[in-house]
Structure 1
Amino acid sequence: MDGFRIPVGEWAATAVDWVRDNLEALLDVISMVVRFLVDGLTDLLVATPIPIAVLAAALISWLLRSWQLAVGTVIMFTVIVGMQMWVSAMQTLALVLVAALVAIAISIPLGIWSARNATVRAVVKPVLDFMQTMPAFVYLIPAIVFFSIGVVPGVVATVIFSVPPGVRMTELGIRGVDPETVEAGHAFGATPRQILRGVQLPLALPTIMAGVNQVIMLALSMAVIAGMAGADGLGKKVVEAISTINTAQGVEAGLGVVFLAVFLDRVTAALGNPSEYRGSLLGALRRRRGKRRADADAIHAVPERVPTPVGA
C-alpha cells in the first residue's frame, strides 16, 4: 500500500491546463469584463471628492439604518482618510462590490432553482459543501493560472468563495415560506411564476437579504487573499506589511478593512426590512405613509349617518 497513490492533484492540474488551452477566448473575455468593471468603479470612487463620498456614505447609513451609524460612518471614513488609506480602501470597495454583485447574480437564481427542484438541490448541496470547506488560498492557484497576476484572479476567487451562503440562504428562505400560503395561491389560480414573485420572494426577502449580507462579508474577508494575487487595495497593503514586518502599515490597513466591514455589514443588514430600525429615514417614511393610509381607511370605514326624514 505504500506505493499506491491516487493522483487526484494531477487530474485536477490536467483539467486546469485543458481549460486554459481550449477556453482561452472565454477567459480573455471574462478578464476584460472584470477588469473593466473593477477599474471603472475604482476610478469613479477615487475621482469623487472625499467630502462628497463621505457624506454620501453617511446619508446611506442614515437612510437605511440610523443617524448614529451615519455619525460613525463619518468618523470611520475620516480615520481612513487620516491614515492615507483612502485610495486603497476605494480599490478594495470596488473589488468587493463587483465580486459581491456577481456572486449575488449567481447565488439567488441558483438558490431559487434549488428550492423548487429536489434533483438540483441534491446536486448543488455537495458542491456547496466542497466550495465552503476548500481553503480559500487554493482558489487562487487556478485563478492565477487562468488570468495571471492582478485584480481578475482576486475577483474570481472572491466570487467562488462568496457564492455558497447566498445559495443556501435563498433556498432556506424560499423553502421556509408557509406551504398553506403557497397552496392558497394555487387555489386562486396563480401560476408557479406568479406565486414565486408575489408570495415566496416577498416572504423570503429577509432571509435572502441575510444571505446577501453574508456574501458581502465573505467577499470582504477575501480582500487580503486577493491582495496576494496582486489585486490593489487594502489587502495588498496587508501583504506588503507582512513581507516587510511593517506593523504600522499592517494595523492601518487592517483597520481600513474593519471600517469597511462595519459599514457594509450594518447597511446591508438593514436592506431586508429598514422599517425595523427606528432611526432610519426610510423606515420613518414608510411608517408615516402606513399611518396615513390607516387613518384614511379608518375615515372611509365610518358609516355615513342617514338623515331622519322630516315628520318622522
Structure 2
Amino acid sequence: MEGLMMEKINIGKYVEAAIEWLSIKGAPVFDAINNGVEALVEGFQNLLLAPHPLVVIFLIAALGYYLGAGRKNLLKRAGWKEAGGVLLFTIFGLLLLWGMNFWEETMQTLTLVIVSTLIALLIGIPLGIWSARSDRAQRTIRPILDFMQTMPAFVYLIPAILFFSVGNVPGVVATVVFALPPGVRLTNLGIRSVPKEVVEAAYSFGSTPRQVLYKVQIPLAKPSILAGVNQVIMLSLSMVVIASMVGAAGLGEKVYTGILKADIGLGFEAGLSIVILAIILDRISQSLGGTQKKESK
C-alpha cells in the first residue's frame, strides 16, 4: 500500500518561488504602483475630508437625486417619485454615520471603494471590449476570470503584502483583483448582445470598426456595462473588512477591531455603517443606469 502512494505534488512551492522572484525583479514596478495608488488614495481622502461633513452629505444626496430623477424631472413631482427615497435615505444615513463618530472612517472606506472601482473599470472595460470583439481573447480571458472569482479573497492578500507591504495599497490591489471580473464579463455580454443586424447596417453605411464600437455597440450595451459598474462597486465595498487585515483604514478596521476585542457594540455599529454606505452606493449606481435609460428614450 505504501508503495502505491503518490508523492505530494507541491504546487505551492513553485508559486512561492515565482512570487519571490517577481517581488525582487519587479521591485521598481511595484514601487511605482505603490506610489501612484497611495497618491490617489490620499488625494480622494483629502478631498472628502476637507469640507464640512454637511457639505459632503448635501453633495452626495444631490448627486443621488440628480441621477435618479433625471435632468427633465429635477423639479417635478415625477422626479421626487423616482429619487425622493434615495435622497432621504442618503441624508439620514450619512447623518447617522456622522452622529456615531464614524465619519472619517466612512470617508476612508468610500475613498478605497472609489479608487478600487476606478482602477478596476479602467482595466475591466477595455478587456471586456477586447473579449467581445475577439473570440480568441474571450477564450483566453474567461478561465482567468473564473480563477479570480472562485479563489478565496483572503488568498489575494498574501502576494499583495509581499509586493506592497501593509497599508491601503495592498488592500486596493486585492480589492481590484476581486472586483474586476464582473466589469469584464458584463461589458463583454453587453457588446455581444447588440443585434447583428444593427452592426451590419452600420457597416453598410460606411462606418469604420472604431465608429461602430463607439457609436453603436457601446451606447446600446450601456445598460449592461453600467450593471457591471454597480457590481464592481458592491464587490469593492464587500472587501473592506478583508482589506483591513493588511492595514487598510476605514470601517473595516473598526469591524476587525471589534472582532479581535470581542466588542459587540463596536462591531455592530461598524457593520451597520457598512450596510448604510452599501445601500447608498448601490442606489446611486443603479440610478446612473436608470438615467441613461431615460435619456435614451
4+ residue runs over 3 A deviation: none
Identity of aligned residues (%): 48
**1:142-194 C-alpha deviation (Å, 9 max, x unpaired):** 00011111101000000000110000000000000000000001111111110
**Cα shift at 1:67:** 1.9
Q: Please say which of residues 55-64 and 174-183 is displaced more in the overlay.
A: 55-64
Q: In 1, Cα distance between the equivalents of 2:259 and 2:149?
A: 26
Residue of structure 2 equivalent to 1:98 = 115
Residue 166 of structure 2 corresponds to residue 163 of structure 1: no
Code of the residue aligned with 1:269 in structure 2: it is Q
- 5 Å-filtered alignment, 1:103-252, equals 103-252=120-269
**Cα shift at 1:3:** 4.9
Q: In 2, Cα distance between the equivalents of 1:80 and 1:26?
A: 38
Residue 50 of structure 2 corresponds to residue 47 of structure 1: yes
Residue of structure 1 equivalent to 2:37 = 34
Q: Give 5+ residue unaligned stretches, structure 1.
A: 277-282, 291-312
**Cα shift at 1:128:** 0.3
Contact 1:165 / 1:215 at 8 angstroms: preserved in 2?
yes
Contact 1:61 / 1:67 at 8 angstroms: preserved in 2?
no
The alignment yields a C-alpha RMSD, in angstroms, of: 1.3
**1:32-85 C-alpha deviation (Å, 9 max, x unpaired):** 111111011111111111110111111011101112211110000011011110
Of the three residues 51, 64, 67, the one matched with 1:64 is 67
**Which structure has the bigger radius of gyration?**
1
Q: In 2, Cα distance between the equivalents of 1:58 and 1:216?
A: 18
Residue 257 of structure 2 corresponds to residue 254 of structure 1: no
Contact 1:64 / 1:270 at 8 angstroms: preserved in 2?
yes
Q: In 2, Cα distance between the equivalents of 1:128 and 1:61?
A: 31
Q: In 1, Cα distance between the equivalents of 2:142 and 2:6?
A: 34
Residue of structure 1 equivalent to 2:72 = none
**1:97-153 C-alpha deviation (Å, 9 max, x unpaired):** 000000000000000000000110000000000000000000000000111111010
Q: Partner of 1:273: helix, strand, or coil?
A: helix
Residue of structure 1 equivalent to 2:74 = none
**1:258-304 C-alpha deviation (Å, 9 max, x unpaired):** 1111111111112123166xxxxxx6xx59xx8xxxxxxxxxxxxxx
Total equivalences in the alignment: 280
Q: In 1, Cα distance between the equivalents of 2:152 and 2:232?
A: 17
Task: Assess, with a 3 A threshold, how the Cα gap between structure 1 residues 163 and 275 changes in structure 2: closer, same or farther.
Answer: closer
Residue of structure 2 equivalent to 1:17 = 20
Contact 1:104 / 1:166 at 8 angstroms: preserved in 2?
yes
Q: Partner of 1:272: helix, strand, or coil?
A: helix
Greater helix proportion: 2
Code of the residue aligned with 1:12 in structure 2: it is V
Q: In 1, Cα distance between the equivalents of 2:16 and 2:5?
A: 23
Q: Give 5+ residue unaligned stretches, structure 2.
A: 69-82
